[in-house]
Amino acid sequence: MYASMHENTALDAARTLVRAATGHQAGGVSTLMLEQQVCAEAGLWETAAARRALDQSHGDTPHAVSMLRVWAATQPHVHAVTVAPDDVAVVRRLSSAYPEIPGGQWLGFSPDLAPRQLNWSQAPSVEEVGSTADATATAATVSDAPTRGGVPRVRDLINGVSMVPQPDDGAGEDPAHTVLVPPFTRACRLGLLARGETGALVALAALILGRRQEAVLVELTVGVARIRIPHPRTEAPCAVVDVPITEVEVVLDADVDGKPGLAMGWGASMGTVERRGISLALLDAAMQADGELREQLVLDEQTIIAATDGSATNGFVEHLRLPHYAGFAAYLAQAAVKQAR
Amino acid sequence: MSTPNQPQTVAGLAAAHGKPEAYAYLDEDTKRNVRRAILKALAIPGWQVPFASREMPVARGWGSGGLQVTLSVVGPTDIVKVIDQGDDFSVNAVGMRNLISASAQCEATTSTPAATIIQSRHRIPDTDLRADQLLVLQVPHPEPLRRVVPDDVAALACHAERDYTPAWLDLYDAQARLGGPRTGADHPVLVAGARLMSPSPIPRHDVMRLNQRAHPILLGAGRRARLTALPPYTSVEPLAFDDRPLEPERPDGPCHRCGSSTSYRVPTDGAGVAALVWCCSDVDACGARVGAAE
């Protein structure tokens, strides 16, 4: 359980998971999260290629992303079948909006448990390449992981407050396959943003977060999605790959019909770089709350300095993982009073 | 070691404990800076004092400000409690409690009456604190005017001139259009009738309990590098019109564990029950009530 961390065997298991997550080694240095970030920004899940690109670009992340996209651009494109909820195994799940949620919370691979103090006595860990432990290997090894279809959505618990209606403007196009032109549908917008650069997403999300009254992470899940493509001859869906996905839903305060309500934002990113998913959800919620971010953003020195302070913006965006239920209950209570009026 | 005439030093304490690193994690320069900021903040209740906020082993926005305040005042005889939304066992609270008690060689507790220093995020313990206890609050946005005066320099001028017209206008606007203030948590307060202060995102239930407390409250905002303090017995009033007092939250039912109908309660999943049930957010006080009833 996340919000309430009593010492037990599950917690020990979670710590072991974080310690063991050495992932793939490049010269004795774990580049697990960096590979995932490069893949997410490239919009292409192939960690081995990302590792190769990182090596050949001497660790220059934007260069490595570019190499992956250049490589993918000339590959044949196969349309995948829409992922079914039962094909997503959930390996980590938490909510900041309620102390306890139906279906429970699981720490899983929790970045918060990794120490932030540099350990000088420990040599860079050198293990054999391709060691099995990584953030999502649990899905393969933990056969009893529940599926997304079998776990209720935390958003369904929110009641007594009006929500900004979500635009129903159809399925999106694949930005890797089609040239998208504005105005974008919400799905296209989400698809484009999902490949956004991590730092840029976090900086914009932190700007939004600093101006809001209420921002609560309703649900964060890390799951492993089984991707299927239609068989070229029989058309029967065949599983081809398992891709880790971070899916996040947040709510922001918003005015609905002149009364305080909530805007529900959704974000999903490949890999387990959770700040990407949280930022995407925040940006989506802000765009729903204020149309096209109508609130004027003045680029004065204070705003620019605040948005470029990486440790502050990353920490602030990721702090949404902390429990927020006391403040959330307070917001819901005042919104309910005004609804009744 | 130290004689009665010779005050204990940080270095002395470190040597006494045979620790190569500084006592209570922070180096002496940082501690001195934070302590001076605390003294200045206590001298001007409700005023935001800048301090040399360091990069801490918790992320920015995860209580780095509260942690620096606690580590600057903690001593070996202290008993430290850390809560997050009232819960002692949140991942982050456990991490900080372990860091404080390990680096300061002091005791840790989850009991509110037993603690000498209570570091809290977004809640004030249900159990009233005594004069010998210290409450440290973690603050995300120390500037109460941030939504109405986005420019920090202009906001500072407002504070210097005690001109809170923008905040009053915002409150009037919400009253006229919505029928009440739009703040859920973090309702701004007037300290000593003069200075507007953010009480950190505590619910209105707690905002209304801030007045004339017997113990000091220190508010640390690490990301924004600001420290604010409320000395004991400070007058703290929520920003509200005389004929429109601030209303606390009104939960729909008693706590499903202890049955209290006066504590601050939050909705939660009631294992097995279809709808949400209410439970106390202060886990220690709730547990004490359950224990007393049995």
State how far residue B2 is from chain A, nearest Cα, in angstroms.
31
Domains assigned to chain B: 10-143+192-238 (3.40.50.11310), 152-185 (no CATH), 251-294 (no CATH)
- CA atoms B170, A251, A324, B261: torsion sign: positive
Scanning A114-143 for CB atoms below 8 A from B yields 115-117
**Measured between CB atoms, does B156 come within 8 Å of chain A?**
no
Range 17-46 of B in CB contact (< 8 A) with A = none
- A109 to chain B, any CB pair closer than 8 A? The answer is no
Contact between A338 and B123 using a beta-carbon 8 Å cutoff: no
B61 to A260: CB separation less than 8 angstroms, yes or no: no
C-alpha pair distances (Å), A15 with each of A2, A114, A137, A173, B91: 13, 8, 15, 40, 12
Per the CB < 8 A criterion, the answer to whether B236 and B253 are in contact is: no
Do B95 and A333 count as a contact with CB atoms less than 8 A apart? no
Active-site residue flag, B286: yes
Q: What is the pLDDT of residues B49-79, one digit of tens each?
A: 999 999 999 888 889 999 999 999 999 999 9
Check CB contact under 8 Å for B180 and A324.
Answer: no
In this prediction the ipTM stands at: 0.88
Give pLDDT tens digits along chain A (341 positions): 344 555 566 666 666 665 555 444 455 688 889 999 999 999 999 999 999 999 999 999 999 999 999 999 888 888 889 899 999 999 999 999 999 898 888 888 777 777 788 877 766 554 433 433 454 554 455 667 888 888 999 998 888 888 888 888 878 887 777 888 888 888 999 999 999 999 999 999 999 888 888 899 999 999 999 999 999 899 999 999 999 999 999 999 888 888 888 999 999 999 999 999 999 999 999 988 875 555 677 788 988 999 999 999 999 999 999 999 999 999 999 888 888 77
Looking at the complex, does the CB of residue A79 fall below 8 Å from at least one CB of chain B?
no
The answer to whether B218 and B176 have CB atoms below 8 angstroms apart is no
Distance from CA of B202 to the nearest CA of A (A): 7
Contact (CB<8Å) B266/A98: yes
pLDDT value, residue A129: 39
Specify whether B46 is catalytic.
Answer: yes
Any idea where the domains of chain A sit in the sequence? 9-73, 85-112+132-340
Per-residue model confidence as pLDDT tens digits over B186-213: 999 999 999 999 999 999 999 999 999 9
State the residue for tokens 């926005």: B61
Q: How far is B262 from chain A (nearest CA, A)?
A: 15
> Kindly report the CA angle at A260 between A255 and A261, in degrees rounded to 5?
80
Question: Does the distance separating the beta carbons of A333 and B251 come in below 8 Å?
Answer: yes
Chain segment B112-124, per-residue pLDDT in tens: 999 999 999 999 9
Provide the pLDDT for residue A127: 46
B280 is catalytic: yes
Measured distance CA(A315)–CA(A202) in Å, rounded: 10
Q: Tell me how far CA of residue B225 lies from CA of A304, A321, B17, in angstroms.
A: 17, 22, 30
Cβ(B206)–Cβ(B248) below 8 Å:
no
- What's the rounded Cα separation, in Å, for the pair B223 and A311? 9
CB of A75 within 8 Å of any CB in chain B? no
The pLDDT score that the predictor gives to residue A161 is 87
Question: Shortest Cα distance from A66 to chain B (angstroms)?
Answer: 30
Nearest by CB: B84 against A98, A322, A328: A322
B106 as an active site residue: the answer is: no
Mean per-residue pLDDT of chain B: 91
User: Which residues, at least 6 apart from A151, have a Cβ–Cβ distance to it below 8 Å?
Assistant: A90, A93, A103, A221
